[in-house]
């Protein structure tokens, strides 16, 4: 735009007023002098202005990368702003009313780029609909500066973004005054427009609408609603909380009663650690529990060569081995947080590292999922289909204001298919002449019965005797399996696994804070959360749950679908979990779930973990060749390298079931030194998909050049934010009257 073009346009407007020009010229705004930006402003002034006016911004915590990228995709082109201004283009102008704290109503069309002019047009289908509605209400009103034919003067910019109307330099196109309609007590300019389909909201990007949460972080609607929302929260996480023991305990040689006891222990530890994290960790509404991050290394230890031929007290011996390894790895994780080293590592942990690492956690069990569920396709296939129907096709169905099918997809599907399996069992679908499901496979002498033993064990609903043998009241207690066993080889594996668990938790902290519209925590708060997770895993090792206790990745999905972020609801749900752990029959009922049914649920749960992991790429430039190459190489090598280590065990395939063969590489891998303990640790680590994926992604992300915007570097709050505005991070503050040593972890 040439200098002086504004005065020329104004002159044309004067000449083209027409007979009604007098009325129109009276509403022309006075000429505004050039804007001179202040360079000596203080952020404190903005905060004080926000407090006076009541203006509240939604802090998303996302990097400038995706924000600028999204603007580019919409046609704003922030990185080409200088060229667009020369060509006449401009980004939309938003004015905030300093009194009401909301956007001012538009006075007319200031600059309206043409969608067909170059690549800078801003028009979309939604924009056209809004313009059509505006024209319908206002009608054909003469516009200042219009020609005789009624067409506004059009200046086509060479760079795209040609502007309709001749308005320049802040001179607004003026139309006749039209009184706004009153709708529900507000004028039509105040009526909100939903720009997102199905009530969904953007999870990131500079300015956002307020989160549509039913309950905020510190809201307390009463004991009855809290109890309901707490149970709802934990039922939606049922697949993660109770199905890990159904895999581990039978592989360890445990009985049905042992499975019931481990499930009760998991419920107790999950309830205790969730309450601890809610008060002394990050204080986000996150459930702690047995994580799938610890399942793969546990299977590696369970399938070690020295345990394959053990018959007497095999379960207790392996459990004590797992306890010792979990305790050592958890101590390392706790030191990582309390020492402040985690604050340094946060600079190196970004979405490009988190996404493939978490995805590898779920993908690692592809060899177990359907091969185990396929033993009873008449049960597993309907269950998988039912879960998908509830979560995808019926996700928008609302009953009493809740997305019933989406929230309760897993427990509802399990109840329906479990009942169906019960009728199949009662109807004789799994009855074979002369065969009994109560006889162990090793004691079956008839060949025909030996062939059907696997099917009966995995499909029948009356196989488990846990319900008959379990006590009504049993309180899990520390060291219930005996004194933990500590070995160097297993401790090294769990130390690396605790680091992967910390990476998983970092991504969950950031995403959850964004989804509930909180400022991201400071690195000190993140370190405090990681330190407490390490302490909670120590408790899990002492009690003997078989795995460590960490933040469940599925929390992000649960908060998103339930729209409940209440800390009190999570705490009350944890109390109920502890109560149920004391009732032995509850664990026994859960232990009697058929194995094929449990494997079918885990197929969906592991797929959900993969999806949630890859969803963190939204905080980076997902279309960047650098990023997609790092993610692709990390995932490919994360599965190809372990496959190389797993091929050095020809005799294992004759001893272990096919779905456990990948976890037997630690005893027969290619690494051979004079130290057997080191051989086991190295072969075990390199056979774990998530560990290899994490190492490859970590090295590439922090060595391949790339801008902060391209990498999507996590933006954490700074300690200075607390000194400038103590209330900004109040939601993360520890309870009062705590010693100063804990209070320092706030920053």
Q: What is the pLDDT of residues 214-230, one digit of tens each?
A: 888 888 888 998 999 99
Let me know if residue 76 belongs to a domain: no
Q: Which of 570, 64, 31 is closest to 277 using CA atoms? A: 570
51 Cβ neighbours under 8 A, 6+ residues apart: none
Report pLDDT for 321. 95
d(C-alpha 32, C-alpha 552), whole Å: 56
Q: State the Cα torsion 138-139-142-145 to the nearest 10°.
A: 70
Query: Between 409-426 and 447-459, two packed helices, what is the crossing angle to 10 degrees?
Result: 140
d(C-alpha 122, C-alpha 642), whole Å: 49
- Per the CB < 8 A criterion, the answer to whether 380 and 716 are in contact is no
Integer Rg of the chain from CA:
31
Let me know if residue 144 belongs to a domain: no
Neighbours of 637 (CB within 10 A): 18
Q: What is the pTM of this model?
A: 0.71
Report pLDDT for 16. 46
Let me know if residue 304 belongs to a domain: yes
Report pLDDT for 19. 45
Q: Which stretches in the chain have pLDDT values below 70?
A: 1-211, 437-448, 649-654, 722, 737-747
Backbone angles phi, psi at 90, to 5 degrees: -160, 150
Let me know if residue 81 belongs to a domain: no
Q: What is the 3-state secondary structure (H, E, C) of 640-669?
A: HHHHHHHCCCCCHHHHCCHHHHHHHHHHCC
Element (H, E) at 467: helix 466-469
DSSP label at residue 657: -
Domain count along the chain = 1
Q: Which of 473, 494, 475 is closest to 484 using CA atoms? A: 494
Report pLDDT for 140. 44
Let me know if residue 527 belongs to a domain: yes
Which residue has tokens 């205790």?
A: 272
Let me know if residue 518 belongs to a domain: yes
> Exposed, middle or buried: residue 250 (CB in 10 Å: 0-12, 13-18, 19+)?
middle
Let me know if residue 274 belongs to a domain: yes
Q: Which of 572, 478, 511 is closest to 275 using CA atoms? A: 572
Report pLDDT for 20. 44
Structure tokens at 60: 């998303």
In 74-158 the beta strands, taken as DSSP E runs, fall at: 112-113, 154-155
**Sign (positive or negative) of CA dihedral 420, 426, 429, 432:** positive
Neighbours of 279 (CB within 10 A): 14
449 Cβ neighbours under 8 A, 6+ residues apart: 432, 434, 435, 436, 439
Q: Give the structural domain span for 244.
A: 223-729
Let me know if residue 432 belongs to a domain: yes
105 Cβ neighbours under 8 A, 6+ residues apart: 180, 189, 190
CA angle 657, 659, 662 (to 5 degrees): 105
Structure tokens at 391: 């979560």
d(C-alpha 649, C-alpha 661), whole Å: 9
Q: String of b and e for 717-734 (b: at least 16 CB within 10 Å)?
A: beeebbeebeeebebbeb
pLDDT digits (tens, 9 = 90+) for 112-148: 444 444 444 444 444 444 454 444 444 444 444 344 4
Residue 273, by phi and psi: left (phi above 0), alpha (psi -120 to 50) or beta? alpha
Report pLDDT for 62. 42
Structure tokens at 338: 């309390």
Report pLDDT for 21. 44
d(C-alpha 17, C-alpha 146), whole Å: 8
Which residue has tokens 């996480």?
A: 237
- Per the CB < 8 A criterion, the answer to whether 293 and 537 are in contact is no
- Per the CB < 8 A criterion, the answer to whether 535 and 291 are in contact is no
Coil, strand or helix: which one is 233? Answer: helix
d(C-alpha 12, C-alpha 14), whole Å: 5
């Amino acid at each position: 735009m040439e200098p002086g073009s504004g005065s020329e346009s104004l002159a044309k407007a004067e000449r083209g007023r027409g007979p009604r020009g007098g009325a129109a010229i009276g509403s022309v705004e006075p000429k505004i002098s050039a804007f001179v930006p202040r360079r000596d402003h203080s952020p404190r002034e903005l905060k004080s202005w926000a407090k006076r006016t009541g203006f509240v911004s939604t802090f998303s915590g996302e990097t400038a990368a995706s924000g600028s990228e999204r603007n580019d995709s919409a046609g704003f082109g922030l990185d080409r702003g200088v060229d667009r201004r020369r060509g006449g283009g401009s980004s939309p102008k938003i004015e905030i009313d300093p009194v009401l704290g909301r956007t001012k109503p538009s006075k007319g069309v200031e600059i309206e780029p043409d969608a067909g002019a170059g690549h800078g047009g801003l028009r979309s289908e939604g924009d056209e609909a809004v313009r059509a509605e505006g024209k319908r209400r206002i009608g054909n009103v003469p516009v200042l500066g219009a020609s005789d034919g009624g067409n506004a003067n059009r200046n086509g910019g060479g760079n795209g973004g040609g502007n309709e109307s001749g308005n320049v330099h802040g001179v607004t196109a003026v139309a006749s005054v039209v009184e706004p309609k009153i709708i529900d007590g507000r004028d039509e300019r105040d009526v909100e427009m939903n720009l997102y389909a199905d009530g969904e909201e953007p999870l990131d990007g500079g300015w956002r609408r307020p989160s549509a949460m039913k309950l905020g972080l510190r809201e307390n609607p009463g004991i009855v609603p809290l109890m309901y929302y707490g149970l709802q929260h934990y039922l939606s996480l049922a697949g993660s909380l109770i199905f890990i023991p159904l895999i581990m305990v039978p592989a360890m040689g445990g009985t049905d009663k042992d499975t019931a006891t481990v499930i009760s222990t998991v419920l107790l530890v999950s309830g205790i650690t969730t309450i601890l994290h809610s008060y002394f960790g990050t204080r986000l509404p996150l459930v702690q529990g047995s994580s799938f991050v610890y399942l793969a290394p546990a299977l590696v230890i369970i399938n070690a060569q020295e345990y394959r031929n053990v018959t007497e007290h095999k379960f207790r011996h392996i459990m004590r081995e797992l306890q010792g390894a979990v305790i050592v790895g958890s101590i390392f994780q706790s030191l990582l947080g309390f020492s402040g080293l985690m604050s340094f590592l946060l600079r190196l942990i970004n979405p490009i590292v988190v996404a493939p690492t978490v995805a590898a956690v779920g993908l690692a069990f592809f060899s177990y999922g359907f091969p185990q569920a396929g033993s009873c396709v008449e049960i597993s296939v309907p269950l998988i289909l039912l879960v998908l129907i509830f979560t995808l096709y019926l996700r928008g169905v609302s009953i009493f204001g809740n997305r019933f099918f989406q929230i309760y997809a897993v427990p509802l599907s399990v109840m329906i298919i479990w009942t169906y399996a019960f009728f199949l069992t009662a109807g004789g679908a799994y009855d074979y002449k002369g065969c009994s499901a109560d006889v162990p496979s090793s004691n079956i002498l008839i060949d025909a019965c030996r062939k059907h033993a696997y099917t009966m064990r995995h499909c029948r609903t009356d196989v488990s005797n846990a319900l008959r043998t379990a006590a009504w009241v049993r309180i899990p207690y520390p060291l219930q399996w005996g004194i933990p066993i500590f070995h160097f080889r297993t401790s090294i594996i769990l130390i690396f696994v605790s680091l992967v668990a910390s990476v998983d938790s970092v991504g969950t902290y950031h995403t959850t804070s964004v989804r509930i519209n909180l400022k991201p925590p400071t690195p000190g708060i993140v370190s405090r959360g990681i330190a407490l997770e390490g302490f909670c895993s120590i408790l899990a090792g002492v009690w003997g749950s078989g795995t460590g206790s960490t933040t469940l990745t599925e929390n992000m999905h649960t908060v998103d679908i339930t729209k409940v972020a209440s800390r009190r609801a999570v705490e009350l749900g944890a109390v109920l979990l502890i109560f149920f752990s004391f009732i032995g029959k509850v664990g026994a009922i859960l232990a009697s779930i058929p194995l094929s049914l449990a494997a079918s649920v885990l197929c969906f749960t592991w797929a959900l973990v993969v999806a949630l992991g890859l969803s963190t790429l939204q905080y980076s430039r997902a279309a960047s060749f650098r990023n997609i190459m790092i993610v692709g190489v990390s995932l490919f090598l994360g599965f190809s390298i372990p496959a190389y280590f797993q091929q050095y065990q020809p005799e294992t395939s004759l001893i272990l079931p096919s779905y456990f063969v990948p976890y037997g590489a630690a005893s027969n891998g290619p690494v051979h030194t004079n130290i057997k303990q080191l051989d086991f640790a190295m072969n075990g680590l390199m056979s774990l998909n998530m560990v290899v994926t994490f190492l490859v992604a970590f090295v590439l992300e922090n060595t391949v050049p790339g801008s902060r915007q391209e990498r999507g570097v996590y933006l954490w709050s700074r300690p200075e934010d607390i000194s400038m505005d103590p209330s900004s991070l109040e939601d993360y503050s520890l309870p009062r009257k705590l010693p100063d040593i804990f209070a320092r972890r706030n920053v």
